[in-house]
Structures are given as structure tokens and as C-alpha cells.
Structure 1
Amino acid sequence: MEAWECNRHVPKLLARKGRVRFEDTGYYTLGGEDEAAYYIEEYGFAWKETLGAVDWLVEVTKDLNPRRRGDATLH
């Protein structure tokens, strides 16, 4: 679950109904919802086109506890 430790927001945003919007300001926060939204905008189609993948991801991550990371912004 290394990917989940890097951004725990991805499963809940993938499971959200409708389009996830990413506002491209030229920056995003590592581990933040904006990074998750960017990931989903770029790669979410693969999760959604794979039958059961989003439900599986939500299930396997629901009881995980995040490690605290310092917030960092990239551009």
C-alpha cells in the first residue's frame, strides 16, 4: 500500500460520483487532495474501466492509518 501512503485521498475521490475537478494552478501539494485530483484526471479512467477496481481499492484501504508526512508543494 505504498501508493496509498503517498496519497490517501485517491480512493475516496475515485469512489465519488461524477467528475473530479483539478484546478491546474501550476502547483499541487504532495499527499493532498489536489494531487489526488490530478492523478484521477490523468489515470482515473483506467480504474473506472476496470470492473470492481474502485470498490476493491476502497475496501483494502478503509482500515489503513496514514503516516504523517510533511506537506510539500511542487510545480
Structure 2
Amino acid sequence: MEGYSEEHNVVEGYLTYSLQLLWYMESTWWINANMDQHSVPPARFAKEMIWLAESQKNMSALLGNI
């Protein structure tokens, strides 16, 4: 429980940049030459990746440049 009470300051834009990196990282796990050999990604994952892709340009406005 101690770890959950810690606070850290971050630079402006940290969250928006992190979400951009998340999209690039997770999308490459599913979109590759062997993707047809794997099961279809869960619907929630697909919705999250679509939302992140569509929201990239507005991320700062949506999150207040956090």
C-alpha cells in the first residue's frame, strides 16, 4: 500500500506523450506479417487503439496537456 501513496511531478505533456507511445507500442504487437496466425485481438483492445488513433491530434485538448 505504501507505493500507492507516492506522488511524482511530471513535465507538461507527459500523459499525452505516454498515450502516443502506448498506441505505437501496442499496435505493433498486433499489426505485423504474422497477425493472421493469431487470434483476433479482444474487442476492447481494438476500441482502445481506434480511439487513441483518432484522438492523437486532439489529445492535448482532451487532457488539458497533462
TM-score by length of 1: 0.31
The higher-RCO structure (CA 8 Å, 6+ apart) is 2
TM-score by length of 2: 0.33
Which structure has greater strand proportion? 1
Structure number with larger C-alpha Rg: 2
